[in-house]
Chains A and B, each alone.
Chain A
């Protein structure tokens, strides 16, 4: 079965000064699926996402979005095409209200927002209750919901999330992943970067393991969950 790839990354390298964070990686994200990159700190996961959305200039390689080359474009142009990043550590705008946060998410759009605000509020009822509250007063879990909601306001076809479970209680993490599945069910392609390998692999259709800037393993989520090396390295189970 041939898949339609919405995002194709080939031979991508990212470096900071002399340090190569991402070394010549290639992978593809099929339309409408959940794809995850897992790996330890410093494996190059976040740098990959930042390069895709144009926050870092790739040193080499190409990033194709629905056939169009993205490498070298500015972030605003990339967001306008329909890729949004939920940055690591949530990064909501603390002194602005929840509603203002959502409106900034839709900054690149000039059309009517009310329908999408309603949609996001339906996805996250907590945000609706707190729409007049300052984002900085929300709990960590609510801030993560807001960060996701804010990214959804740009109506992306691909949403990239950088460690959405960072610093959240297990029960809240479950909630975040339920939302991720729900968003995916509504037709948004998701590229997920996680350290919580267990949750990420369960949610993912396709998964890649990154180590020191390279992709070392790939497979479907369930395949990797069963893999002994992965179990030992990321899931805390010893090899038999």
Chain B
């Protein structure tokens, strides 16, 4: 069963309109509050990172775990270059910021792009030797890289302010910034995936030997995918810094990468829409599950297991259930389509009517 193209276009237009109206309402504080807005903004930023991680892990079939490192590059670039000159002395109170660096102040968007470019160049430099590795070995190498970045940032006292981190970064004032950036970044990646480069990425994922025999240059395409992914991850890292208005290297511990790994596994390796949906579910879910961390008393009796940390236990359990029973994630390798929704509704309908008929 298929819907006509016109109906599909109308549905898409309605969906976009609803999103625009919702964001405008949130932005003007008609609905929601600062907390919900913060979670939604974070989810949009995580969506960019997860889609770019999926570009490497889900579409090109390389198991990379370097996301946190590239995010840190973007975050610190934005932090270093956008912190207002007058607050620099109070932030860098142990050792002053390098004067040549303090002299360069960049607008937010430029700093974002610079961060992306630095990450992409670094990705190319480490990608050339490292991307020859496969599966677990590549994962270990990229994980190591991410840790190196973090430790280097901890040591560069005059540039990143070391373990103290940088605060007073100009914040994001409107939800349009993260959501607009997400739309643009993900849009570009979708275009890439649907182009002939995207086909080459998928061919490498499916069977690298056959892909090579078809004349696809493995090293070039793997590096391309890795660099583009790093670029957008760093952009999102910059948004992250601006959203939190403070960064320090500890935030980019390698466990952060597992958040995104989780999102792409839940959403479906090789599905952009699945990844976007999952990043909202996981980011929202982590917040929603917070009540497990609060003490809980039933009829005056304090239940002892309700204490800080239980949230992550519950979360891990949910994940195990997911991996056991729902291995391909929400979407598998499929993408969201109106036809898919329509067929699903029809299937549920016929199943319900059959049940009624049987009873």
Contact = CB atoms under 8 A, between A and B. Distances in A.
Chains A and B belong together in one complex: yes
Nearest to A153: B214
A190 to B, nearest CB: 16
A91 interface: yes
B333 A107 contact: no
Given A95-B333, A103-B199, A107-B199, A55 B206 contact: no
Contact of B213 (A74, A85, A94, A96): A85
Contact of A87 (B196, B202, B209): B209
Interface string A79-103: 1100011010001111110001001
Given A100-B202, A104-B200, A75 B207 contact: no
B9 to A, nearest CB: 22
26 contacts: A55-B209, A55-B213, A75-B212, A75-B213, A76-B215, A76-B217, A78-B215, A91-B207, A92-B207, A93-B202, A93-B207, A93-B210, A93-B211, A94-B206, A95-B202, A96-B206, A100-B202, A104-B200, A104-B202, A104-B203, A104-B211, A107-B196, A107-B200, A107-B203, A108-B214, A150-B214
**What interface size band does chain A fall in?**
20 to 34
B141 interface: no
Interface in B188-234: 196, 199-200, 202-203, 206-207, 209-217
Most buried by B among A76, A85, A107, A150: A107
Contacts of A150: 214
B209 A91 contact: yes
B199 A104 contact: yes
A75 B215 contact: yes
Contacts of A92: 207, 210
A105 B206 contact: no
Consensus secondary structure, chain B interface: helix
B216 to A, nearest CB: 6
A154 interface: yes
Interface in A29-52: none
A193 interface: no
A85 B207 CA distance: 14
Contact of B217 (A74, A95, A100, A151): A74
A85 to B, nearest CB: 5
Interface in A61-81: 74-76, 78-80
A127 interface: no
Interface residues of B, number: 18
B206 A95 contact: yes
Interface string A199-235: 0000000000000000000000000000000000000
B320 to A, nearest CB: 26
A86 to B, nearest CB: 8
Contacts of B210: 87, 91-93
Contacts of B217: 74-76
Given A93-B207, A108-B214, 19 more contacts: A55-B209, A74-B217, A75-B213, A75-B215, A87-B209, A87-B210, A91-B207, A91-B209, A91-B210, A93-B203, A93-B206, A93-B210, A95-B206, A95-B333, A100-B199, A105-B214, A107-B196, A107-B203, A107-B215
A74 B196 CA distance: 20
B200 A84 contact: no
A95 B216 CA distance: 18
